[in-house]
Structure 1
Amino acid sequence: MSSSFDRYQKRKLISSYFSVVISIALVLFLLGCLGLLVLNAKKVADHFKEQVVLTIYLNDSAKEVEVNQLEKSLSMADYTKSITYVSKEEAAELMKAETGEDFMDFVGYNPLQNSIDVYLKADYVTNATLDEITEELSTKAFIEEIRYDNDLVELMNDNVKKITFWVLVISGLFTLIAVLLINSSIRLAVYSKRFIIKTMQMVGATKRFIRRPFVLKNVQLGIIGSIVALAGMAVVLHYLNKTFPELGLLGQPVLIAALFAAVFLLGILITWISTFIATQRFLNLKTDQLYY
């Protein structure tokens, strides 16, 4: 009978430890994923900004040497990420591929113009900067027109600011929730041992002596939960990097390592503080208060 009861208690204890580890792992995993989002938010935003194209349309009378000089000056400009020269023939082929019809059969000639597509660095994708670049390039006589999507640039910059603000707010809120959830799980685990704590205290054990095994055990559970969370984060990061290689999510190894270390240390710190507070609370309770 005693052996059956011992097995029951052991299973109950393992179940309690398992629930604490799972709670810690899930919360830290979600918090870590949010951290990955925060770290890469600017990179993702920059990726979309750098898809904005400034198209320079050239006159048919433009000389080859003038076009070559323009390409060279654009390539050397601080704001340029890359440039692509699109001839009127290539533009016609692209339009034919998009529409599925050859418009030159109806027009009889190619009305399109040679152009240069300029892809800018993310920091320069603002309406003010694009207007300055447009004004500067418009002074060249062989350039007929310069176009870019003004509304798209404005909308993109506004959305980036809003998303950045809300990501920071949600990160702070989620950190608080993480602390509260882990603290709640550990308090429940310590609560189940409240009579053992009081019994040890009644036979003369010091608070520090009573608290030590609880802190050590829960810190161990925090380490296990942190390792599980880090493994999940590594899988998510690998999957995202494989799915979206153009974002270069692994391009900041130092920051990623710092995030992983922060999640690991956070798991240990929260479990240590929560266990300390929970055991201290039950150590300060009177015997008749343990039943409530």
Structure 2
Amino acid sequence: MSASFDQYQKRKLISSYFSVVVSIALVLFLLGCLGLLVLNAKTISDNFKEQVVVTIYLNDSAKEVEVKQLEKSLAMAEYTKSSIYISKEEAAEMMKAEYGEDFLDNVGQNPLQNSIDVHLKASFVTSEILADIVEDLSQKDFIQEVRYDNDLVELMNNNVKKITFWVLVISALFTLIAVLLINSSIRLAVYSKRFIIKTMQMVGATKSFIRRPFILKSVQLGIIGAVVALIGMAIVLYYLNSTFPELELLQKPVIISMLFIGVFALGVLITWISTFIATQRFLNLKTDQLYY
């Protein structure tokens, strides 16, 4: 009978520890993934901004030397990320590939123009800067027109500001929730041993002596949960880097390492503080209060 009860108690203890580890791991994993989003928010927004294309349409009378000089000046411009010259023949082939038929058969001659597509650096993708760039380029006689989607640029910049604000708010809120959830799990684990705590106190054990094993065990569970969370974060990071290589997520080893260390330290710190507070609470309770 005693052996059966001991096995039951052991299974119950293991189950309690397992649920604490799972709670810590899940909360830290979600918090870590949110941290990845926050740290890479600028990279993600910059990547979207750099997809905006400024198209420079050239006159048919433009001389080759003028076009080459323009290409060279664009390549050297501080606002240019990349630029590519597209001839009217290449543009016609692109339209044929996109629509599945050769529109030149109906038109007779190629109405398209030679052009240069320019992708700007993210910091220059604002309505004001783009307007200055367009005005400067339009002064050249061999340039017929410069086009870009101004509505898209304004919408993108406004949304980036809103998203950045709400991501920060959600991050702060989620951090608070993470602390409360881990604290709740630790308190439940300590609550199940409240009578042991009070018994040790009644036989003369000091508060620090009673707290020590509880804190050590909780910190161990916190470390295990943090390691599980970090493994999950590493898998997510590898997947995102493979799926979206343009974000260059692994090109920031120092920042990524600091995030991983921060998640690990947070797991240890929260479990330590939560256990300290929980054990202190039961140590200060009177014996008859343990039943409530």
How high is the TM-score relative to the length of structure 1?
0.99
- State the alpha-carbon separation in 2 of the partners of residues 272 and 67 from structure 1: 67
Deviation at 1:105, TM superposition (A): 1.9
Q: Which residue of 2 aligns with 1:255?
A: 255
Look up the SS of the partner of 1:84 in the other structure. strand
Q: Which residue of 1 aligns with 2:145?
A: 145
Q: Which residue of 2 aligns with 1:23?
A: 23
Percent identical: 82
Matched, 1:132 2:125: no
Look up the SS of the partner of 2:205 in the other structure. coil
Look up the SS of the partner of 1:113 in the other structure. coil
User: Which whole-Å deviations, capped at 9, do the CAs of 1:129-149 have from their partners, x for residues lacking one?
Assistant: 100000011111110000000
Alignment of 1:173-184 (within 5 A): 173-184=173-184
User: Which whole-Å deviations, capped at 9, do the CAs of 1:183-202 have from their partners, x for residues lacking one?
Assistant: 00000000011001001111
User: Which whole-Å deviations, capped at 9, do the CAs of 1:219-250 have from their partners, x for residues lacking one?
Assistant: 00000000000000001111111111121111
User: Partner letter of residue 88 of structure 2?
Assistant: K
Alignment of 1:45-194 (within 5 A): 45-194=45-194
- State the alpha-carbon separation in 2 of the partners of residues 247 and 262 from structure 1: 22
Look up the SS of the partner of 1:20 in the other structure. helix
Q: Which residue of 2 aligns with 1:241?
A: 241
- State the alpha-carbon separation in 2 of the partners of residues 234 and 211 from structure 1: 34
- State the alpha-carbon separation in 2 of the partners of residues 280 and 15 from structure 1: 24
User: Partner letter of residue 59 of structure 1?
Assistant: N
Deviation at 1:21, TM superposition (A): 0.5
User: Partner letter of residue 55 of structure 1?
Assistant: T
Deviation at 1:155, TM superposition (A): 0.8
Instruction: Give me the CA root mean square deviation.
Output: 0.7
Unpaired runs of 5+ residues, structure 1, are: none
Deviation at 1:95, TM superposition (A): 1.4
- State the alpha-carbon separation in 2 of the partners of residues 235 and 224 from structure 1: 17
Deviation at 1:40, TM superposition (A): 1.2
Deviation at 1:100, TM superposition (A): 2.2
Unpaired runs of 5+ residues, structure 2, are: none
How high is the TM-score relative to the length of structure 2?
0.99
User: Partner letter of residue 78 of structure 1?
Assistant: E
Deviation at 1:104, TM superposition (A): 1.9
Deviation at 1:103, TM superposition (A): 2.0
User: Partner letter of residue 263 of structure 1?
Assistant: V
Deviation at 1:276, TM superposition (A): 0.3
- State the alpha-carbon separation in 2 of the partners of residues 227 and 179 from structure 1: 17
Look up the SS of the partner of 2:267 in the other structure. helix
